[in-house]
Amino acid sequence: MIVSTGRRRGPATVGLVAAVALALAACGSSSSGTSGSSSAAGGSSAASGAAAGGKIKSGLTVYFIPKDTQNPYEVIADEGGKTALAELGGKVVVSSGTQDTAAAQIPSIQAAIQAHADAIVIAGNDPSALCPALGQAQAAGIKVVSFDSDVTCPNHLFINQADTEQIGRSEVQLLAKQINSTGEIAILSAAATATNQNAWIGYMKEELKNFPNMKLVDTVYGDDDPAKSLTVLQGLLTAHPNLKGIISPTTVGISTAAQYLSKHKDIAAKVTLTGLGLPSQMKAYVLDGTVTAFELWNPSDLGYLAGYAAASLASGVTDGAPGSTFTAGKLKEYKILPAAGSTGPSIVLGPPTVFDKTNVAQFNF
Ligand code: RAM
Nearest atom (ligand 1) to Cα of 249: 6
Closest residue by Cα to atom 3, ligand 1, is: 250
Question: Is residue 68 lining ligand 1, measured as CB closer than 6 Å?
Answer: no
Q: 59 CA to middle of ligand 1, Å?
A: 30
List, for residues 183-206, the tens digit of each pLDDT value.
999 999 999 999 999 999 999 999
Question: Is residue 250 lining ligand 1, measured as CB closer than 6 Å?
Answer: yes
Q: What is the CATH number of the domain that holds 111?
A: 3.40.50.2300
Please indicate, yes or no, whether residues 155 and 170 belong to a single structural domain of this protein. Answer: no
Mean pLDDT on 324-333: 95
Please indicate, yes or no, whether residues 284 and 306 belong to a single structural domain of this protein. Answer: no
Please indicate, yes or no, whether residues 151 and 227 belong to a single structural domain of this protein. Answer: no
Q: Domain for residue 90, yes or no?
A: yes
Q: 66 CA to middle of ligand 1, Å?
A: 10
Closest residue by Cα to atom 6, ligand 1, is: 250
Mean pLDDT on 306-331: 96
Nearest atom (ligand 1) to Cα of 74: 7
Please indicate, yes or no, whether residues 123 and 217 belong to a single structural domain of this protein. Answer: no
List, for residues 206-229, the tens digit of each pLDDT value.
999 999 999 999 999 999 999 999
Please indicate, yes or no, whether residues 175 and 280 belong to a single structural domain of this protein. Answer: yes
Among candidates 266, 251, 238, which has minimal Cα distance to 302?
A: 251
Q: 48 CA to middle of ligand 1, Å?
A: 33
Please indicate, yes or no, whether residues 140 and 169 belong to a single structural domain of this protein. Answer: no
Q: Domain for residue 360, yes or no?
A: no
Q: What confidence tier does 52 reach under pLDDT thresholds 50, 70, 90?
A: low
**What's the domain range around 250?**
164-296
Please indicate, yes or no, whether residues 143 and 252 belong to a single structural domain of this protein. Answer: no
User: What's the pTM value of the predicted model, to 2 decimals?
Assistant: 0.88
List, for residues 34-46, the tens digit of each pLDDT value.
233 334 554 333 3
Q: What sign does the CA torsion over 172, 174, 179, 181 have?
A: positive
- Ligand 1 pocket, mutate which of 65, 68, 71 (most atoms under 8 A from CB): 71
Q: What sign does the CA torsion over 201, 204, 208, 210 have?
A: positive
pLDDT more than 90, % of the chain: 84
Mean pLDDT on 249-265: 98
Closest residue by Cα to atom 8, ligand 1, is: 250
pLDDT at 161 over 90: yes
Q: What is the 3 state secondary structure string of the chain?
A: CEEEEEECCCCCEEEECCCCCCCCCCCCCCCCCCCCCCCCCCCCCCCCHHHCCCCCCCCCEEEEECCCCCCHHHHHHHHHHHHHHHHCCCEEEEEECCCCCHHHHHHHHHHHHHCCCCEEEECCCCCCCCHHHHHHHHHCCCEEEEECCCCCCCCCEEEECCCHHHHHHHHHHHHHHHCCCCEEEEEEECCCCCHHHHHHHHHHHHHHCCCCCEEEEEEEECCCCHHHHHHHHHHHHHHCCCEEEEEECCHHHHHHHHHHHHHCHHHHCCCEEEEECCHHHHHHHHHCCCCCCEEECCHHHHHHHHHHHHHHHHHCCCCCCCCCEEECHHHCEEECECCECCECCEEECCCCEEECCCCHHHCCC
Please indicate, yes or no, whether residues 109 and 20 belong to a single structural domain of this protein. Answer: yes
The count of domains in the chain is 2
Please indicate, yes or no, whether residues 136 and 62 belong to a single structural domain of this protein. Answer: yes
Among candidates 145, 170, 124, which has minimal Cα distance to 274?
A: 170
Please tell me the least confidently modeled range out of 3-12, 27-36, 289-298, 307-316.
27-36
- 104 close to 111: Cβ distance less than 8 angstroms: no
Q: Domain for residue 188, yes or no?
A: yes
Question: Is residue 304 lining ligand 1, measured as CB closer than 6 Å?
Answer: no
Question: Is residue 73 lining ligand 1, measured as CB closer than 6 Å?
Answer: yes
Question: Is residue 71 lining ligand 1, measured as CB closer than 6 Å?
Answer: yes
